[in-house]
Amino acid sequence: MPDFDLVIRNGTVATATDVFDSDVGIRDGVIVALGQGLGAGAQDYDARGKLVLPGGIDSHTHIAEPRTGPTANADSFASGSASAALGGTTTVIGFARQARGGSIAAGVAEHLARAAESRIDYSFHMILTDPRPDILAEELPNLVAQGHRSFKIFLTYEGARISDAEALDVMATARRLGALVCIHAEHHDLIMFYTRALLAAGLTAPKHHAWAKPMVVESECVHRVCAMAEALDVPIQVFHVSGAESAEEIARAQARGLKVWGETCTQYLVLTAEDLDRPGFEGAKYVCSPAPRSQADQAALWEMIRRGVIQNVTSDHAPTRYAGPDGKTAFGLDAPFTQIPNGLPGLAARMPILFSEGMVKGRIDLPTFVSLTATHAAKLFGLHPRKGTIAIGSDADLAIWDPTKRVTLTQALMGDANDHTPYEGMAVTGWPETTLVRGVPVVEHGRVVGAAGHGRFLPRGPYPMIAPRGVFPGPFNPVDGVAV
């Protein structure tokens, strides 16, 4: 009788704190032993010369989210999760959405049904588009009790955005319930002002999308949400920090002691606004919000990562095909930028790009890579230590990584249902050859072998990292209505 179902032998294990040579013994989908020369396994995997890393956690992914049309999200959970696993990711956090005027429960039930075909594990942030008093008082407590412990609010985008007053109500409710508010921070009215002026001036090309939302649009809003979080003593996660000034706002908030965390995304580390100016209509492939910025902003983000101000890197995977009636070109090859759907695909590319641009180029070390791609997200979203690390008792979610393999990124390698990748032709060093979710191979030697439906929903209970500090800027706690 073998001691283990599977032993990964002879690899170099890396966590967010340590790098060491060790076998990994797996039983019933869980890591049960670490050490050299482990006993027999029903199966062995020889990882000599390879890194054995915690499977990635991509905590910001738009998979199979319905839109009002005519454009569509290209991925199902079957294709999106295949793509994630090809890039070494074993857990995704996606978005369930409340329809305006609709209930939260309906949005969650519909998204759980879509996610049932996921090959990897998943959890959701709840997008709140209509935080009415009855929703806050009745539905949100139920939602949190069911393990949905993070909300996303948008301060821009027609159809999704809420007012500052509503954002304060959501923050106060999250504080009471022990949930984390994640924020899309851009100044809506300013974007609209720019947009009207650009259209009136006939400046409508894809590159003008970036002109409509310069950094001040983002940095002002990041400053504002940090102030709101400070006043209500509410921890927040600022999504997709795209460059220097907004990262500096996060740094200033952290220096004041606030629980404000910043996320950036692959695209802000390797793309710039110049990509929106590619010949023809190709720039449409790079339309996302916030817009990609400059090389100086990329350098600033790497520096903020080095300083620990930015602690996780996600894909913000939001795939729209380029061609076809539901694609980025749905309104024609001369459509104004306002009609190009926002978002880039990036599930499979995230970890290889970060490994290559970060680790291989010497900007970060291996534990920092692990933290940025898995461990911090696991901690911040209440999945640790089950996910995001290699430890006794953790799920055997592993990426077995060839650190020297050189790969040129192509759409075919991404394995999603999109028809292009914004990273086409980019050369990377380092590639995940095998990805395991709870001990079961989902990708083996670069081929998707995991069944649709292997993934499980991850409910998230209370956890201390997002507890409020109990510190207010004045003598009054406005959330509970009491003096402090």
343 binds, among Zn ion, ligand DUC, none (CB under 5 to 8 A by kind): ligand DUC
Minimum distance of ligand DUC from residue 116's CB (angstroms): 23
x-or-dash string of contact with Zn ion, 366-395, rule CB under 5 A: ------------------------------
Minimum distance of ligand DUC from residue 67's CB (angstroms): 11
272 binds, among Zn ion, ligand DUC, none (CB under 5 to 8 A by kind): none
CA dihedral 178, 161, 267, 300 (to 10 degrees): -70
Our CB check for ligand DUC shows the closer of 185 and 232 to be: 185
By CB under 6 A, tell whether 316 contacts ligand DUC.
Answer: yes
How far apart (Å, rounded) are the C-alpha atoms in residues 395 and 437?
8
Kindly tell me which residue out of 338, 342, 411, 477 binds ligand DUC, with binding defined by CB under 6 A: 342
How far apart (Å, rounded) are the C-alpha atoms in residues 439 and 186?
41
Our CB check for ligand DUC shows the closer of 43 and 342 to be: 342
56 binds, among ligand DUC, Zn ion, none (CB under 5 to 8 A by kind): none
φ, ψ of residue 271 to 5 degrees: the values are -110, 160
Neighbours of 462 (CB within 10 A): 12
Our CB check for ligand DUC shows the closer of 50 and 125 to be: 125
Q: Residues 401-426, buried b or exposed e (16+ Cβ, 10 A)? A: bbbeeebebeeebbbbbbbbbbbeeb
Measured in whole angstroms, the distance separating CA 235 from the mean position of its chain's CA atoms is 18
x-or-dash string of contact with Zn ion, 155-184, rule CB under 5 A: -----------------------------x
Q: Which residues contact 165 (CB under 8 A, 6 or more apart)?
A: none
54 binds, among Zn ion, ligand DUC, none (CB under 5 to 8 A by kind): none
Type and span of the H or E element at 46: strand 41-46
For residue 317, the 8-state DSSP code is B
Our CB check for Zn ion shows the closer of 27 and 184 to be: 184
Q: What share of the chain is helix, strand, coil (3-state, %, to 5)?
A: 35, 25, 45
By CB under 6 A, tell whether 288 contacts ligand DUC.
Answer: yes
Our CB check for Zn ion shows the closer of 265 and 366 to be: 265
By CB under 6 A, tell whether 289 contacts ligand DUC.
Answer: yes
The residue whose two tokens read 């894809």 is: 206
By CB under 5 A, tell whether 316 contacts Zn ion.
Answer: yes
91 binds, among Zn ion, ligand DUC, none (CB under 5 to 8 A by kind): none
As given in the structure block, the two tokens for residue 319 are: 């795939």
Site for Zn ion in 223-262 (CB under 5 A): 239
* 8 Å CB contact between 282 and 312: no
Site for ligand DUC in 165-204 (CB under 6 A): 184
By CB under 6 A, tell whether 420 contacts ligand DUC.
Answer: no
Our CB check for ligand DUC shows the closer of 249 and 402 to be: 249
For strands 4-14 and 19-27, give the pairing.
antiparallel
Kindly tell me which residue out of 57, 93, 136, 318 binds ligand DUC, with binding defined by CB under 6 A: 318
**Nearest-CB residue for Zn ion:** 184
For strands 51-54 and 56-58, give the pairing.
unpaired
Our CB check for ligand DUC shows the closer of 55 and 336 to be: 336
Neighbours of 279 (CB within 10 A): 6
* 8 Å CB contact between 6 and 439: yes
Our CB check for Zn ion shows the closer of 214 and 385 to be: 214
List, in sequence order, the alpha helices (H) in 274-365: 295-307, 350-354
149 binds, among Zn ion, ligand DUC, none (CB under 5 to 8 A by kind): none
By CB under 6 A, tell whether 343 contacts ligand DUC.
Answer: yes
* 8 Å CB contact between 230 and 362: no
Q: Which residues contact 451 (CB under 8 A, 6 or more apart)?
A: 119
How far apart (Å, rounded) are the C-alpha atoms in residues 98 and 108?
8
43 binds, among Zn ion, ligand DUC, none (CB under 5 to 8 A by kind): none
Beta-bridge partners for 436 = 398, 441
Minimum distance of ligand DUC from residue 286's CB (angstroms): 10
Minimum distance of Zn ion from residue 154's CB (angstroms): 6
Minimum distance of Zn ion from residue 126's CB (angstroms): 14
Binding residues vs ligand DUC (CB under 6 A): 62, 184, 288-289, 316, 318, 342-343
Binding residues vs Zn ion (CB under 5 A): 184, 239, 316
